[in-house]
Amino acid sequence: MLRTLLSALTLSLCTTLPAGAPAVDTEGHAWWQHAVFYEIYPRSFQDSTGNGVGDLNGITARLDYLRGLGVDALWLTPCFPSPQVDFGYDVSDYWDIDPLFGTLQDFDRLVAEGRERGLKVILDLVLNHTSDQHPWFKESRSSRTSPRRDWYVWRDGKGPGAPPCNWESLFGGPAWTLDPATGQYYYHYFYRQQPDLNWRNPAVKDEMLDVTRWWYRRGVAGFRLDAVDTVFEDPGLADNPVLPGRNEYGDPNMKNLHNYKLEEEHGLLKDLRRVADETGAVLIGETYTESTPELKAYYGNGRDELQMPTGHMLAMAQTLSAADFRQRIDATLATGFWPVWVLGNHDLARTATRFGDGRHDDAIAKVLAALLLTLPGTPILYYGEELGMVNNDPVRLEDVRDPLARQGWPRAKRRDGARTPMQWDGTAGAGFTKGKPWLPIPPSAATRNVAAESGEPGSVLNFHRQVLALRRGDPALREGDYRPLNPADPNVLSCLRTYRNEAVLVTLNLSPEQRSLSFDLKALGWDPTRAVRLATSGAALPEAGLPLELGPYGVAMVSVPRLR
């Protein structure tokens, strides 16, 4: 608490809190509704010390690249002090920066230099659990009567050798670990080194709300809320229903009925939102769902819970199918609230690998970019996707860094492949490090890198830059209405984004064949004879702009004025 007061005093000297409600534009939109977010995995973005691990000064050194790319807000996965069992998702101090990544001063410089370039910084808040090395947990486990005992979830076993209930850890094995010192079990939804906090204890909530306030004062523009669905569990510890079959760890399949997505989580989201609103900060939720009502619930009444729940409807797609994507888009839009779009992140295989066919990989990377960046709402782009970086799964057990992959080896290669270093140039360390990178750099980095792609007009990187620039300059793309066209087309996704006197026609061929398209735009009040090309990839446009010929996985974005 003393630390909170001291920092508040220091920071109030250099930071002014904007008063009242967040500023909105003439359309009623807040800053994050116009922004493109960019996820950085700090270990893998830029190493400034030569130890093979990325750090904050490395990110600061790359701010001009990010500005030039055309993104607006950087979400950094956790960089708080941590034993790094789950690479930062096991926090041992919420009020500092891990020395591996730098210092608080480095962080302040990153925020300040970001601000100069119009780039905001979002941190990743791990709410559900801490590290088992956090002083709170050490104190909590020290005795049954410790004042912090109730900060975590401790229970007696059901009998000798039997945990309190049948809940399983998402990361394999039981979700309960016996602590011999006090003879009780503690609960962990993830690794045993990530004990769950007891969110039914008001002291835990107060402390965490203070943590967010402290970082907001330091200039943080919001938080991504890690694993927020796992924060509460049934205090009665009812067994979860067991389903047929076993998962990749060999555990029985289970429906997490009593320890996942509990109603109480909405109260917490409201509390976090009240504090975020003090500075106009944004809350992004790690809220996996494929259900519209569930996604809708995370917004609360539209003003009192998450601004940006990441339904991950697109991210969960496994095949490039216009019908499947259309259904996912419709399901997201059906909430009626501001949509958020994600295709990839540090837990999922890279999109180039998920969707690439080995023949049209660049075209596929571009059609995905156009999809992500032209839907109505706020996109979150994962670092390296703008280059078309591929997944680089470890092939030998000794190269595995993600403990999840070690557990599931060789069945589950898990997350290392999507977390390899950013590819800046064609040198041995890919311009990422002068040392030995913590994860190997794939051979494809020799050509798939920022330096090489910057020099190729038709590269995946330059296509991202082009579409991001269009989006920044064109209100129809940024905040225009959305009207799907040709909704029965099994191959091509088409829509109109309209704003006042302009419509942007976006057509995305999700098939490997050439497609001819025609639209009756006149009937909708738009003048196809005055259509102007905005961006294309693998598409031919006749003089007057329409009809369109799209090559395999081709993209065309065309501006069409209102009929006179």
* Nearest residue (CB) to ligand NOJ, 126 versus 231: 126
* Nearest residue (CB) to ligand NOJ, 170 versus 209: 170
Interface with ligand NOJ includes 298 (CB under 6 A)? no
Q: What one-letter code names the amino acid at 236? A: G
Catalytic choice (86, 124, 196, 226):
226
Q: What dihedral do alpha carbons 101, 103, 105, 106 form, nearest 10°? A: -20
Size of the site for ligand NOJ (CB under 6 A): 9
Q: What is the DSSP letter of 428?
A: T
Residue 347 CB, shortest distance to ligand NOJ, in Å, is 5
Catalytic choice (139, 239, 251, 278):
278
Is 278 noted as a catalytic residue in this protein? yes
* Nearest residue (CB) to ligand NOJ, 346 versus 448: 346
* Nearest residue (CB) to ligand NOJ, 190 versus 519: 190
DSSP H stretches of helix in 278-377: 292-297, 322-333, 351-355, 361-374
Binding mask 455-494 for ligand NOJ (x = CB under 6 A): ----------------------------------------
Interface with ligand NOJ includes 286 (CB under 6 A)? yes
Q: Compute the C-alpha angle 398/404/409, nearest 5°.
A: 55
Residue 324 CB, shortest distance to ligand NOJ, in Å, is 24
Residue 76 main-chain phi, psi, to 5 deg: -95, 130
Residue 196 CB, shortest distance to ligand NOJ, in Å, is 11
Half-sphere exposure of 184 (CA within 13 A, CB side): 16
* Nearest residue (CB) to ligand NOJ, 340 versus 495: 340
Residue choice 59, 71, 119, 126 for contact with ligand NOJ (CB under 6 A): 126
Rounded to an integer, what distance in angstroms lies between the CA atom of residue 415 and that of residue 437? 16
Among all residues, whose Cβ is closest to ligand NOJ? 89
Residue 89 CB, shortest distance to ligand NOJ, in Å, is 3
Interface with ligand NOJ includes 137 (CB under 6 A)? no
Rounded to an integer, what distance in angstroms lies between the CA atom of residue 154 and that of residue 459? 54
Reduced to 3 states (helix: H, G, I; strand: E, B; else coil), residue 463 is helix
Binding mask 331-350 for ligand NOJ (x = CB under 6 A): ---------------xx---
Residue 395 CB, shortest distance to ligand NOJ, in Å, is 22
Rounded to an integer, what distance in angstroms lies between the CA atom of residue 416 and that of residue 414? 6
DSSP H stretches of helix in 257-321: 265-277, 292-297
* Nearest residue (CB) to ligand NOJ, 122 versus 322: 122
Residue 299 CB, shortest distance to ligand NOJ, in Å, is 21
Is 456 noted as a catalytic residue in this protein? no
Residue 168 main-chain phi, psi, to 5 deg: -110, 150
* Nearest residue (CB) to ligand NOJ, 290 versus 527: 290
Q: What is the DSSP letter of 533?
A: E
Residue choice 32, 75, 80, 89 for contact with ligand NOJ (CB under 6 A): 89
Q: Is the dihedral of CA 346, 347, 350, 355 positive or negative?
A: negative
Q: Give the strand pairing for 222-226 and 120-126.
A: parallel
Q: Would you state the structure tokens that stand for residue 349, as one six-digit string?
A: 């295989």
Residue 384 CB, shortest distance to ligand NOJ, in Å, is 16
Please spell the DSSP secondary structure of 387-416, one letter per residue: GTPPP---SSGGG---HHHHHHTTT--TTG
Interface with ligand NOJ includes 86 (CB under 6 A)? yes
Reduced to 3 states (helix: H, G, I; strand: E, B; else coil), residue 536 is strand
Binding mask 513-552 for ligand NOJ (x = CB under 6 A): ----------------------------------------
Please spell the DSSP secondary structure of 435-461, one letter per residue: S--SSPPPGGGGTSSHHHHHT-TTSHH
Interface with ligand NOJ includes 227 (CB under 6 A)? yes
Q: Which residues bind ligand NOJ (CB under 6 A)?
A: 86, 89, 126, 190, 226-227, 286, 346-347
Active site residues: 226, 278
